[in-house]
Amino acid sequence: MDRDTILRLVSEVPDHDGFPLVDDLHARFDALAAAHPDQVTVTRIGTSRLGEPLHSYRIGSGSHAAVIVGGVHPNEPIGSWTALHLASTMLEDPVAAAALDVTWHIVPTIDPDGMRLNEAWFHDPHDRVFYSRHFYRPAPDSQVEWTFPNSYKSVYFDQVLPETLAFMRLIDDTEPDLLVSLHNGEMGGVYYYLSEDLPDVIDLLHAVPESLGLPLDTGEPESPFLRELAPAVFAMDGIETAYDYLEGLGVDPGEHIHGASSASWAMRHGALCMVAELPYWSHPDADDQTPTDESYADLLRRCADELGASGTELQEILDLASPMTTIETPFLEGSRAFVPMLLSGPETDRARADREPADRMATVAERFGCEDLVRCFRLRYGGMLLRALEAETTAGTASAPLRRLRDRLAERYALWQADAVTGAEPIPVGRLVGVQYGAILACAAHVADPTRASRPAMATTNLPGGS
């Protein structure tokens, strides 16, 4: 499949008003399987923690295997439409399917339990305040993407979730040439993670958002240790790189690193791994490289102080509320994990600020990225803690002091909502799906290229129990 064909297919992705609910998503995949019984094989790969069957839909009979998994973070549903559009196209466009020579193994959502806790905002993903108020993200040790086995230096992790185990089995059973876990971000532009430095793929990863009128995210990267392969394309170097970076800063890596990712597991089989990170909202500052009058080091310190102050406020409320809570909701579990991170995370930024040249000025994009991360975390995790306290007030189990804490947090949260960035524009969902879909096609075309060298043998990695 050539570049022009991929860009044409990307341009044909339809728009959507919101995101499908979990039951609707599963019903749509089941309808596809019923309509194409000779082309779709449905396999149960596991069971969620709340007892929901997890299924993989095998489509096609190509000589290259690709695993595509949605819902790895349940607050990231762009991949729901992407997975559905990919499945529909491969079933209904035999020319495109034949050009890729791929057998697809598609999981619509690997964490249906968590995704259901975000469904309140799926019908209106364009309002950031509404989105954040109904936001849910599992605690790190309850995230499917980050609970793969891991053993490196002082870190040892083997608390694999049932959903992660299903994901692991699917990877081991299919030994894929390509793994794509379907992620997305929130604000800014498009950026990617890629497990290999592939100029032909990177060229298409740049061309796809450009063809849809979407900017690349060239500001502050998601993590400071990331290795850039090209603008807005970062290497998937694994937790070893993160660990060594934090250790070099004098920060305890064990406080920040636990499980490994799905990519680390798939690369044992020689898979090419890719993640496309897409925003719900764009902002003109996200790719503005104009220097500001603030040094990068001062920017890091200022935002670290602001984030730490917000963390202190939330931690005080959480500490006061904890003895009075009676309902162990996922929101409370998440709050107990993320609120302390708002206090410990700034430690890393302050440490690296001390190593930045004092005369290196921050760009507009970097300033926007750092400042918006503070806004994002306040809205996300303040909203989750508020949902945890509201579970008690709604159930009628909240004492009078707990109700007063809920009111105090709601008042503070309203101020953070009012501080939501101006000038942000919602991006049509169809364009976001188009970027993710096009990135998958670009990687699939690469692995199916008959002139490509054969993939490497299974590599050894630092995993509990060996590989």
Q: Output the six-digit token pair for 244.
A: 């060594």
Residue 450 confidence (pLDDT)? 80
Residue 6 confidence (pLDDT)? 97
pLDDT band at 460 (very low <50, low <70, confident <90, very high): very low
Q: Output the six-digit token pair for 214.
A: 């979407």
Residue 422 confidence (pLDDT)? 73
* Contacts made by residues 424-428, CB under 8 angstroms, sequence distance 24+: 424/128, 424/187, 424/281, 424/282, 424/283, 425/281, 425/282, 425/283, 426/125, 426/126, 426/280, 426/281, 427/214, 427/278, 427/279, 427/280, 427/281, 427/282, 428/15
Picking from 39, 101, 105, 107, the residue whose alpha carbon sits closest to that of residue 66 is 105
Across the chain, mean pLDDT equals 93
Neighbour-count burial of 30, counting CB atoms closer than 10 A to its CB (0-12 exposed, 13-18 middle, 19+ buried):
middle
Residue 451 confidence (pLDDT)? 78
Cα dihedral 118, 119, 124, 127, rounded to 10, equals -20
> DSSP of 4-58, one letter per residue?
HHHHHHHHTPPP-SS---HHHHHHHHHHHHHH-TTTEEEEEEEE-TTS-EEEEEE
Residue type, 439: A
Condensed to tens digits (0 to 9), the pLDDT of residues 138-162 reads: 999 999 999 999 999 999 999 999 9
Mean pLDDT of 12-37: 97
Decide the pairing of beta strands 191-194 and 233-235.
parallel
The rounded distance, in Å, linking the Cα atoms of 204 and 201 is 5
Residue 348 confidence (pLDDT)? 86
Residue 453 confidence (pLDDT)? 61
SS3 186: coil
Beta strands in 384-433, from DSSP E residues, in sequence order? 425-426
Ranking 225-234, 339-348, 403-412 by mean pLDDT, the lowest is 339-348
pLDDT band at 456 (very low <50, low <70, confident <90, very high): low
The rounded distance, in Å, linking the Cα atoms of 274 and 436 is 10
CB half-sphere exposure, 51, CA atoms < 13 A: 0
Residue 419 confidence (pLDDT)? 85
CATH architecture assigned to 290-418: Up-down Bundle (1.20)
> pTM for this one?
0.93
Q: Is pLDDT above 50 for 426?
A: yes
> DSSP of 236-252, one letter per residue?
---HHHHHHHHHHHT--
Listed in sequence order, the residues at least 6 apart from 262 whose beta carbon sits closer than 8 Å to its beta carbon are 69, 72, 144, 145, 148, 167, 171, 179, 181, 273
Tell me the percentage of the chain whose pLDDT exceeds 90. Answer: 81
Domain with CATH 1.20.120 in the chain: 290-418
The rounded distance, in Å, linking the Cα atoms of 404 and 354 is 41
SS3 454: coil
Residue 414 confidence (pLDDT)? 94
Q: Is pLDDT above 90 for 225?
A: no
Condensed to tens digits (0 to 9), the pLDDT of residues 89-132 reads: 999 999 999 999 999 999 999 999 999 999 999 998 888 889 99
Q: Output the six-digit token pair for 462.
A: 């630092």
Neighbour-count burial of 357, counting CB atoms closer than 10 A to its CB (0-12 exposed, 13-18 middle, 19+ buried):
exposed
The rounded distance, in Å, linking the Cα atoms of 288 and 266 is 36
* CA angle (321, 323, 327) in 5-degree steps: 80
SS3 326: coil
Domain with CATH 3.40.630.10 in the chain: 3-283+425-447
Listed in sequence order, the residues at least 6 apart from 129 whose beta carbon sits closer than 8 Å to its beta carbon are 379, 417, 420
Q: Are 245 and 158 in contact (CB under 8 A)?
A: no
Q: Who has greater pLDDT, 423 or 136?
A: 136
pLDDT band at 455 (very low <50, low <70, confident <90, very high): low
pLDDT band at 344 (very low <50, low <70, confident <90, very high): confident
Condensed to tens digits (0 to 9), the pLDDT of residues 272-324 reads: 999 999 999 988 888 889 999 999 999 999 999 999 999 999 999 999 999 99
CATH class entry, domain 3-283+425-447: alpha beta
Residue 57's DSSP bridge partners are 42, 106
Listed in sequence order, the residues at least 6 apart from 241 whose beta carbon sits closer than 8 Å to its beta carbon are 225, 227
Q: Are 435 and 209 in contact (CB under 8 A)?
A: yes
Residue type, 229: L
